[in-house]
Chains A and B, each alone.
Chain A
Amino acid sequence: MTPRRQRTLVVIGILVGAGIGTAVALTAFSGNLLYYYTPTQALSKNLGPKDVFRLGGLVEKGTVERKAGSLTIRFIVTDNRNSIPVVFTGILPNLFRAGQGVIVNGHMSNRGVFVANQVLAKHDSDYMPLKLYNKENGTRYTEPGQMNRGAGYGGP
């Protein structure tokens, strides 16, 4: 084999490798996008138990219920127009609180309850709580240790 042909082979190898990489990336990509909906959007979409998505809104005051000593908690997420009841079993993020923003990952059950496998609490980046400066503040989300991913690196 001449050096030239060998180099052509190397180039073809690179292209094939990069192509396979891209194909793998795009396949994995399309299956792992999590869309974010508000309760109003979610209800208008007629989502079934197989559609995993993120639901975002406020934890409605007075709706947080927990049987003492159990890790299962129920609450209602609202965008002040529509609401969806949510059930979650696990450790809540430290910042979870009634009246605060929340994002939950999961799916709708057949009975219209959102079954969450992950809860992220929203906290204002004005967590610098003196509010010295009344700037527009963005929001951030945390959950207990950002944990509980599916297949995982990092996750147990």
Chain B
Amino acid sequence: MKQIEPIATGATKVTSKQMEFVTVTVAGQLLGLPISRVHDVFVVSEMTTVPLAPGEIAGLLNLRGRVVTAVSLRRRLGLGDSTSVERRMAVGLENHGEAYGLLVDEVGEVLKLDPDEMQPNPVHMDRGWVGLSQGVHQLHDKLLIVLDVDAVLAFETEREAA
């Protein structure tokens, strides 16, 4: 994984309160996943699409002998599929004993952020996004949305209710 220059101003100072986030990019938007939830980051090679599956599910992956369900973060956020198909990155997550791979455009570095500095979602943020976001961190040149991993992986229940 390539190293990205630290962007956050407060990231250099280490306090006990700080939480670590794995940053990912989807359609130019910076998002953070709590590092405690991230198992690994891997390059997606071959993926088996599942016919009749919910749109959010991109397919199934073989990750070292384990079948992993690939969830497209783009589709989860209501965005169109990426046009470039060079190398797809995925963040390995675990939820209720099942392995998931969250497909993202790019994986960035790990940031240390102070939870106290997190700000609530802007009121006019897209409804679909609000449900998946825990809040927003202001970095010096960008905004980072803190993803709620459980919410990101909780689409099936929504679907059934609908």
A in complex with B: no
